[in-house]
Amino acid sequence: NIIASATEGDRRLIAVVMGGKSSKGREEQARKLLTWGLRDFTTVHLFSAGQSLGDEPVWYGESHRLPVGSAQEQSLSLPKSEADKLKAQYVINAARLEAPINKGQTVGEIRISDNGQV
């Protein structure tokens, strides 16, 4: 068995090859996997932690609009050919948002779709 890793920029890939007839064969397969991953895949930064993705109306509050976003940074690794097909959309869980709403409170979800598939 062999575990190998490679880095390119801020991206690290790990390959695990189990079995095989020889250590040289496992090394070659790990090298092929890492080369394939670095060549054909990319990491797409979707949004940053705290980044506003829009704002929604709030009922009964001092502020009439609430900025919505993610508490965490979101990135996704996928084939380079799929990278431009990603779409992010937020969906509010309630028919309307009512105050009070606390900072960091979950009010919906972010749906990531790839070529129309969520």
pLDDT, one tens digit per residue, over 12-55 is 999 999 998 899 999 999 999 999 999 999 999 999 999 999 99
The total domain count for the chain is 2
Peptide bond into 79 cis (omega under 30): no
* 22 and 60, same domain (yes or no): no
In this structure, what are the phi and psi dihedrals at residue 27, rounded to the nearest 5 degrees?
-60, -45
> Is 71 exposed, middle or buried, given 0-12, 13-18 or 19+ CB atoms closer than 10 A?
exposed
> Is 9 exposed, middle or buried, given 0-12, 13-18 or 19+ CB atoms closer than 10 A?
exposed
* 54 and 83, same domain (yes or no): yes
Residues 31, 34, 17: CA angle, nearest 5 degrees? 65
> Is 26 exposed, middle or buried, given 0-12, 13-18 or 19+ CB atoms closer than 10 A?
buried
Tens of pLDDT, residues 44-84: 999 999 999 999 999 999 999 999 999 999 998 999 999 88
Write the CATH number for 71: 2.60.410.10
Q: Which domain holds residue 11?
A: 2-41
* 36 and 85, same domain (yes or no): no
Structure tokens at 72: 């965490």
List, in sequence order, every residue forming a beta bridge with 88; answer none if it has no partner. Answer: 112
Q: What's the rounded Cα separation, in Å, for the pair 7 and 15?
A: 12
What pLDDT score was predicted for residue 42?
A: 93
- 3-state secondary structure (DSSP) of residue 79: strand
